[in-house]
Amino acid sequence: MSKEERNITWQASSLNRQDRENNNGHRSRTIWFTGLSGAGKSSIAFALERYLHEHGVRCYVLDGDNVRHGLNRDLGFTAADRQENLRRIGEVCKLMVDAGLLVLSAFISPHAEDREMVRQLFEPEDFVEIYVRCSIEECERRDPKGLYKKARKGEIPHFTGISAPYDIPTSPSFIIDTEQYSIEEAIQEIVEHLQQIGALVLPSHLNQR
């Protein structure tokens, strides 16, 4: 059904994204963390959120588990449900970027085509994909939520890395290997990369456009 058939139109605000960015004192972007369960996506995203908050950046973490408590509580883990999960999150990220926020999204997002679907919602410079790399062996050794153990017993179907595939990103903006870096070191590496590509300019150094 088309938008016309649903009788809906986009209601424009008198404020635009640049107005909000200028008010916040920094630019808005979506930073998308992808990787296996246990790789460290959420740990890095929340640590980065704290770092950015302390440096005056208005940001928010969208975490894979957290959104399934509310917004996506009706979705399972089939390929179709995973795709819809990411589609919804991508749309939320798009709104938050328009609100002038830096969004830190931590999702396994195992399928390359689904990550590309989300990427296409944004202008190229507004979506930064970071691959949080960690071997399946190390992720399983960590197993912070006990999910790998359950998956090995067949208690969790469609579990990425065990009974469902993970498409390794072929051209992410950045790769952080959590077997090589501590969380603190990873944050410094990521911040440096974001600054180098212009995705992050801390408020005290912001050049108004």
Active site residues per annotation: 109
CA atoms of 79 and 160, how far apart (whole Å): 11
Tokens 């180098």 correspond to 196
> What does the DSSP assignment read for 70-117?
TTTTT--SSHHHHHHHHHHHHHHHHHHHHTTPEEEEE-----HHHHHH
CA atoms of 158 and 139, how far apart (whole Å): 17
Nearest to 175 by CA among 13, 44, 10: 44
